[in-house]
Amino acid sequence: MISRDDAVLLLKEHVKQENLIQHSLAVEAGMRAYANHFSENEDEWGIAGILHDLDYGEFPEEHPSFRIREWLSGLDVSEHIIKAIELHGEPKGVRKELIEKTLHAVDSISGIIVATALVRPNGFDGMKPKSVVKKIKDKSFAAKMDRERMYIGCEELGIEMSEHLSIMTPALQEISDSLIK
């Protein structure tokens, strides 16, 4: 399997936008937390998080694109990671494997968690999942973020939003220095 360091180098080779790199690190943290929650391989799930938007920096209108498979097939990246990445932006019902559903759910919620921390005086310090729930319900806050996609992620995983945020929020708090600069 590709190492974390090599995955980050690959990400930085294809993605030049700092906010997108930070987002990928947030998704990695969430994927690692969920791997632990589901007793899955944390390194493997983390790699899926790091690489999930690999093509977005160069080809946002095609994302996720065929380039993901092209770029990752020659590397030591498993087929189920590649497939999870390919499916993370697809409509409800196409994701079948746990890693596929989790990547979609983690990707869709991580941005609003970070946005919530950014508007708080103490950032991530002391932030509770209920603070994020309030921001999700406030349609004017981060208005371009797709709330329906967030709820679809929970539905596909079979968990409530509060439980999802109870897993995600502490995971992002642990790497807050990488997310808020």
Residue 168 is part of a domain; what is its CATH number? 1.10.3210
What does the pLDDT look like over 32-54, one tens digit per residue? Answer: 999 999 999 999 999 999 999 99
Q: Domain residues for 149?
A: 4-179
Domain count, the chain: 1
Query: Higher pLDDT residue, 138 or 67?
Result: 138
Alpha-carbon distances of 17 from 57, 171, 175, rounded to whole Å: 7, 22, 19
pLDDT reported for residue 66 = 74
Dist CA 41 CA 175 (whole Å):
19
> Has residue 56 got a pLDDT over 90?
no
Other CB atoms within 10 Å distance of the CB of residue 50: 21
Other CB atoms within 10 Å distance of the CB of residue 174: 13
Nearest CA to 107 out of 128, 88, 86, 84 is that of 88
**Mean pLDDT in residue range 100-118:** 97
* CA atoms of 125 and 105, how far apart (whole Å): 23
Q: How far is CA 48 from CA 7, 43, 94, 128, 161, in A?
A: 9, 9, 18, 26, 22
157/164 Cα distance (integer angstroms): 9
- What is the crossing angle of helices 147-157 and 161-174, to 10°? 100
